[in-house]
Amino acid sequence: MPLTLKRPELSRTHNFIAGEWRDAVDGARYPVSDPASGVEFTSVPDSSEADARAATDAAHAAFDGWRERTARERAQFLKRWHAAIVANTEDLARIISREQGKPLAEARGEVAYGASYVEWFAEEAVRSYGDMLPALMPGKRMMAVKEPVGVVAAITPWNFPLAMIARKIAPALAAGCTVVAKPAEDTPLTALALARLAEEAGLPAGVLNVVSASREHTPATVSNWLADSRVRKITFTGSTPVGKHLARESAGTLKKLSLELGGNAPFIIFDDADLDAAVDGLMASKFRNGGQTCVCPNRIYVQNSVYDAFARKLVERVSALRVGPATRDDSQIGPMINARAVDKIERHVQDALAHGAVVLTGGRRLQGDGLDGPYYYAPTVLGDANRDMALFHEETFGPVAPLFRFESDADVLREANDTPFGLAAYFYSNDVRRIWRVAGRLESGVIGINEGAVASEAAPFGGVKESGYGREGSRYGLDDYQHIKYLCQGGLV
């Protein structure tokens, strides 16, 4: 089925380099498939080194002109881009849904979420202050000013094809940087549509460049940026092993890095919690995007005395979730992104069963019955999970909620922190002393306290430990695209 849009020109199938829509230098293309059916519906350039270099040339050439614009001018561009994204919500949601598989209603939410970062950084652009420093010697004035780092390479994931790239590009442009971006192999079309809207909003040529590449060609494209000293910053959202690789490989030119990597979020329900609120929070955070987010709870800890009551309430809600094609208005859980994703979910569930878990609902692939492909997995609750299971150690990245029992606060804190990751953590309690103690002890960059929906453009998003470093969103988000320059003026006596 072709992708039907109100504005067909938003379906772009060429790289965007130096303000031009280009084929890959060698003409190579790769197919883009609908994750529901696995059927190819279009193709995009399969870029390689020459295309990556052309994008860097363009971004490098555009940098001086862009940084010299006033912050107000850059903000105005971002406001026009924001308005264009919002005005084209329906088409963008259709593109997201088609290439990524999330239900349309959720894709519309993602457009609003991504757009909120563009608006936020339009507002932040004009509030990027430096400091006048107390001069400790007579006749001197000392200042710290913020400057754009330079050309930024943004490498983005498939789970939020719009929001993740928007929250990298918007602060970069606000700070005065220019960008070369490579969207995930599975989801290039949303990024290219965003580039089209940026073009319509009047962004000067070369300030934003987007190149697509298949899984096979991605290493060559990205390596080019890692080695090129003109690229001053890499911002990446994706897996921890790839993040470590980027850190190692970019060391040769000592680039600034923002790495938003994997998580293994604990979600703790203490015995004094409001169980209905905890179920609501878990539904919102665990089943968002079919469980395919880095901040999805991966290990759900329930205190013994409320375990059975919580499990009953949760199973009732999870078994009522509607699984269906992304295009159906009433679908709540769409297909997983690809065969690898659904294979991993299945492997985790089988491994958990082999180690003593019980299926409370779900626990199987879904096929037929109005479902249009092989990548659906039933929303699942597993009881009696334990730390011998693979899902204790690794992100499942799917609609599986394993329940672990715990006895004391000390036990659960030890277990929750017993992971190399530290992106998000959640807990429910109504005891104010416990709240502050637990919030202080959880090793995590983002903490939801009696709240499952933590994402916001006004908040600093990012991890600790092997979940990475750098922050996206909030007033801190601009820092990642700036460096501080110290100016010292003498001879003023």
Between 201 and 261, name the residue whose CB sits nearer to ligand SIN: 261
**Segment interacting with ligand SIN (CB under 6 A) among 197-205, 288-296, 320-328, 373-381:** 288-296
For residue 44, state whether it binds ligand SIN (rule: CB under 6 A): no
Nearest Cα to 462, choosing from 204, 300, 237, 228? 237
- Cα Rg, the chain, nearest whole Å: 23
The least distance separating ligand SIN from the CB of residue 260, rounded to whole angstroms, comes to 6
Residues touching ligand SIN, count (CB under 6 A): 9
Residue carrying the six token digits 């470093």: 469
The least distance separating ligand SIN from the CB of residue 423, rounded to whole angstroms, comes to 8
Per-position x/- string for 243-282, each x denoting binding to ligand SIN as judged by CB under 6 A, each - no binding: -----------------x----------------------
The least distance separating ligand SIN from the CB of residue 128, rounded to whole angstroms, comes to 23
Q: How far apart are CA 295 and CA 452, in angstroms?
A: 10
Between 260 and 415, name the residue whose CB sits nearer to ligand SIN: 260
Between 283 and 455, name the residue whose CB sits nearer to ligand SIN: 455
The least distance separating ligand SIN from the CB of residue 458, rounded to whole angstroms, comes to 13
Residue numbers 407-466 binding ligand SIN by CB under 6 A: 455, 461
321 in Cβ contact with 332 (< 8 Å): yes
Residue numbers 290-349 binding ligand SIN by CB under 6 A: 293-295
Q: Residue 449: CB partners within 8 Å, gap ≥ 6?
A: 426, 427, 429, 435, 439
Straight-line distance from the first to the last Cα atom of the chain, in angstroms, rounded to the nearest whole number: 76
Q: Is 260 a catalytic residue?
A: yes
Q: How far apart are CA 110 and CA 80, in angstroms?
A: 19
217 in Cβ contact with 44 (< 8 Å): no
455 in Cβ contact with 251 (< 8 Å): no
Q: How far apart are CA 207 and CA 223, in angstroms?
A: 21
90 class by beta-carbon count within 10 Å (0-12 exposed, 13-18 middle, 19+ buried): middle
The least distance separating ligand SIN from the CB of residue 167, rounded to whole angstroms, comes to 8
- Choosing from 99, 110, 185, 260, the catalytic residue is 260
Residue carrying the six token digits 């293309």: 29
Between 39 and 453, name the residue whose CB sits nearer to ligand SIN: 453
**Segment interacting with ligand SIN (CB under 6 A) among 148-156, 287-295, 332-340, 367-375:** 287-295
* Bridge partner list, 333: 323
Between 160 and 428, name the residue whose CB sits nearer to ligand SIN: 160
The residue from 33, 214, 218, 237 that contacts ligand SIN (CB under 6 A) is: 237
Between 56 and 159, name the residue whose CB sits nearer to ligand SIN: 159
264 in Cβ contact with 404 (< 8 Å): no
Binding footprint of ligand SIN on the chain (CB under 6 A): 159-160, 237, 260, 293-295, 455, 461
Catalytic residues: 260
